[in-house]
Structure 1
Amino acid sequence: MESAVLEKNATVRPTGFFPGIRLGVSLLFLANGFAAGSWAPKIPEFAQRLALGESALGVMIMIFGIGSLLMMPVAGAMVARLGSGRISLMSGFALMPMLLLITLSPGWLSAAVAMFLFGGFIGAMDVAMNANAVAVEKAMHRAIMSSCHAFWSLGGLLGAGIGGYLIEVLGIFGHAVLVTVVIGLLIAATWPVLYRHDAPEASVDGGKEKLRLPATPLPWLIGLIALFSMIPEGAMLDWSALYLKNELGAPLAVSGFAYAAFSLTMAAMRFAGDLVRDRFGPVRTLRASAALGMIGLFIAGVAPTTTVALIGFAIAGIGIANMSPIIYSAAGSIPGVPSGIGLSVVTTLGYSGILFAPSIIGFIAAHAGLGTVFMAMPLLALTVLALSHLVRHAERK
């Protein structure tokens, strides 16, 4: 039945179908990454305006994470019913004004609601656009996941790299308005070229049977790899700017460069990710990536100056870049487990690290400092190295 669906889709593909749908899903990742990156340079002002200490800021970030994890399964169910293209657009337009809403929040209660919605629509769009990328891969019969994640990193680089400067030039409100407009334009540009012919996997040949959680431990172990691989990404997004500003004395305009340096090298390596994985294989690529990530984070944690910290964050970006795409490819190729189910397990566990670990880091940093946190974070990569052989299922024959 699945082949019949694909054949039916093939009959409606216009000229230039493949470049078009690849551009469409890439713009989704770019918009989502730009929204996330634009949040990073706003964090110091957000904390100062609401008089939030590191522990209280950690609570706000946890609320962001709760919103994301609650909306992810909702978005997954909506994708199953309506398709990834439609839900990607809906969640993208809903995400558009969220940073503006955070900026206009007068107190901690309204800010908490805005953070919950911001995290919720970031998470919903993330699920939908990754599902769309998987559908495009199947239609094109080639891997594009690394390059899609590269566009997410590029969006994060742009948002974080120019965010501090724009805040100083335009002010907090002007920056939020500009971010809202840019996200809206990117989503609007996606509209005519987005792939909308994906069939929900759970409805093909299996009814509700395929929606059951897998009994085999392999998806859960790969999800554990995702968890420890993605915690540093969340830490970089939420704490790197504050680390440069508060502990290394960097000015506001420079503090956003930490995440920008990380995103720059990550984006570059993700654009090359498919070629690297084809050349060295997923297992060796993951091991080398984990080792580089460990080195970079340690350098950043012990850095005596802002420049050295930026070098460390850049090295960490090189290492961490292709870990998630390899893990996702493995999750979607587990023998005996439908790809949608494997991806849902691994994505949920992985994003738990991005969304909740930074809030825990806030409580630790209040007592030990963020430098100590970044210096100790490479210990997480030991689990990745120990289980790295499990991503052999990402091998492309």
Structure 2
Amino acid sequence: MMADDAMAKARRGRRAVAAMFLVNGFLIGSWAPQIPVTLARLEITEFTLGLLILTFGLGALVAMPTCGYLIGRFGSRWTVRVFGVVSCFGLLAVALSPGIVAAGITLFLFGGFIGGMDVAMNANAVEVEKQLRRAIMSSSHGFWSVGGFIGGGAGGTLIEAQGYLFHAGVVTAAALIVTLAGLSFLVTEPRPEAHEVRRFALPRNPTVYLVGLIALFSMIPEGAVLDWAALYLRQERGADLATAGFGFAAFSGAMALMRFAGDRVRNRFGAVATLRVSSLIAAAGMFVAGFATEPWLAIAAFAFAGLGIANMVPIAFSAAGNQPGTSSGASLSTVTLMGYSGILVAPSGIGYVGEHVGFAPVYVAVSALLVVVCLMAGLARSAEFTHGEPAQPPA
């Protein structure tokens, strides 16, 4: 009977953490249609707007390692609660900012709370996996993609109809309602051991950093497509403006669909095999996209790459959260920090290279990084579930 109750709580926790992923993606997606409004409202240049957007990413990168300490000290459930509730007010604070300085500060804080919530909800999803004794990370990230789609898709229409402040208020209210509804059902991990919470420290386990490289090499392609696919298709492959926009749409759509199937694939074939095959699929897609001469072939290749990339980061996060002898929060915050650098920092370098040699060689080089992930796939063995328990890598 007690086992049945524990499993029922874990299933409720699974739905609750999915709601947190949905809210996090929804908040980030809702910020996207506010970007052009911010440009006009503050009467700033595109360059200045780019610096403001960068502060959002910097806030996330600063908060992530701090969040790892908080998870080790108070647990992922408490950390999700704090960062989740505060994150709901981030977009409204940005929309209410009267000038560039205030906007920079609020964007930094918004990014910090969103980034902290990201680490905490991934740590909580790892705990749900342990309690359910099966993978749920890929579909959790699928809910994040759905939230981003809803936020980005509905935001522009709402802003046009009612204005940017009304939109920000609706987003805040909707996010807060869903967050508060799910918070009480989040699972709680075992009490952290004393050695895990004495002080802030980076993990000593070198495998954590190698898994972080897997996350980084998995997310650099995502950033390369997100920021530069449209320009690549337009300038180097002759696509019109409407067609160029399908590059990232096809990539993200395929990625979202595959994430909902990813847990079943991982449970059936194991984390290592899934990561190995996924990385090769992604590498093939990026390689073809780099050599494609026709826009629609490149778009199809980006979609194929999305099918592979979909499950790579979730597996890396699960592997980080299950490292033996290391705090789940500390490991996840480190891997998340390294991984998100691929989206928040690497694209600027990719833009510099693309400006001088073109983006086709960039996508071919990115495919090589994905082959490296294939070679490193054995490091994800801690994300395997053997007889219902995460497998422990050999000492």
TM-score, normalised to structure 1's length?
0.80
Partner of 2:63: 71
- 2:72–2:330 CA contact under 8 A, matched in 1: no
Counterpart of 2:107 in structure 1: which amino acid? M
Match of 2:51 in 1: 59
What corresponds to 1:80 in structure 2? 72
Q: CA deviation at 1:116?
A: 0.7
Q: Quickly say closer, same or farther: Cα 1:207–1:383, change in 2 above 3 A.
A: closer
3-state DSSP of counterpart to 1:124: helix
Deviation at 1:187, TM superposition (A): 0.9
Partners of 2:49 and 2:58 in 1: CA distance: 14
Q: Deviations over 1:329-365 (max 9, x none)?
A: 2223445545444334322322222332234445556
Alpha-carbon contact 2:219-2:339 (below 8 Å) kept = yes
Letter in 2 for 1:317: G
> Do the aligned partners of 1:226 and 1:346 also contact (CA within 8 Å) in 2?
yes
1:204-223 equivalences in 2 (<5 Å): 206=195, 208=197, 213-223=202-212
CA gap 1:31/1:256 in 2 versus in 1, 3 angstroms: farther
Deviation per CA, 1:184-222: give whole Å up to 9, x if none. Answer: 222122134233x3234343xx45579754444322212
Q: Could you tell me which residue of structure 2 aligns to residue 120 of structure 1?
A: 112
Query: Unpaired segments of 5 or more residues in structure 1?
Result: 1-6
Worse-matched range after superposition: 155-164 or 368-377: 368-377
Report if the CA contact (8 A) 1:133-1:144 is conserved.
yes
**Shift in CA distance, 369/90, structure 1 to aligned 2, threshold 3 Å:** farther
Deviates more, 1:168-177 or 1:11-20: 11-20
Match of 2:278 in 1: 289
Contact map agreement 2:7 2:131 (CA 8 A) in 1? no
Mark the CA change 1:375 to 1:15 in structure 2 (over 3 Å): closer, same or farther.
closer
CA offsets 1:109-167 (integer angstroms, 9 cap, x no match): 33322221121011111111112212222333332222212211221222234444444
Equivalent AA in structure 2 for residue 325 of structure 1? P
- Contact 2:279/2:308 (8 A) holds in 1: yes
- C-alpha offsets along residues 210-256 of structure 1, whole Å, 9 cap, x if unaligned? 975444432221211111112233445555677789995536xx987
| Percent identity over paired residues | 48
Contact 1:277 1:285 in 2 (8 A): yes
Choose which of 11, 21, 34 in structure 2 pairs with 1:19. 11
| The one of 367, 370, 390 aligned to 1:381 | 370
- 1:133 maps to 125
Q: Indicate conservation of the 8 Å contact 1:64/1:118, yes or no.
A: yes
Could you say if the C-alpha distance between residues 212 and 103 of structure 1 is closer, same or farther in structure 2, counting changes exceeding 3 Å? closer
Q: Does 1:179 align with 2:171?
A: yes
What amino acid is the match of 1:23?
Answer: R
Q: What is aligned with 2:100?
A: 108
User: What amino acid is the match of 1:112?
Assistant: G
- Evaluate the alpha carbon distance shift between residue 91 and residue 382 of structure 1 in structure 2; reply closer, same or farther with a 3 A threshold: same
Q: 1:388 to 1:191 in 2, by over 3 A?
A: closer
Structure 2: runs of 5+ lacking an equivalent: 387-395
Q: 1:154 to 1:167 in 2, by over 3 A?
A: same
Equivalence map 1:309-328=2 (5 Å): 311-328=300-317
* Residue number in structure 1 paired with 2:258: 269
Going from structure 1 to structure 2, the CA distance change for 1:12 and 1:111 (only over 3 Å counts) comes to farther
Q: Would the aligned equivalents of 1:157 and 1:263 in 2 still touch at CA under 8 Å?
A: no
Which stretch of structure 1 is more off in the superposition, 321-330 or 16-25? 16-25
The 2-side partners of 1:175 and 1:372 are apart by 40
The 3 A distance-change label for structure 1 pair 215 and 191 is closer
Distance verdict in 2 for CA 1:359–1:172, change over 3 Å: farther
* Deviation (angstroms), 1:77: 2.7
Q: Which of the numbers 138, 142, 148 marks the counterpart of 1:150?
A: 142
Q: Give the count of matched residue pairs.
A: 383
2:122 and 2:317 in contact (8 A); partners too: no
CA contact (8 A) 1:257 1:310 kept: yes
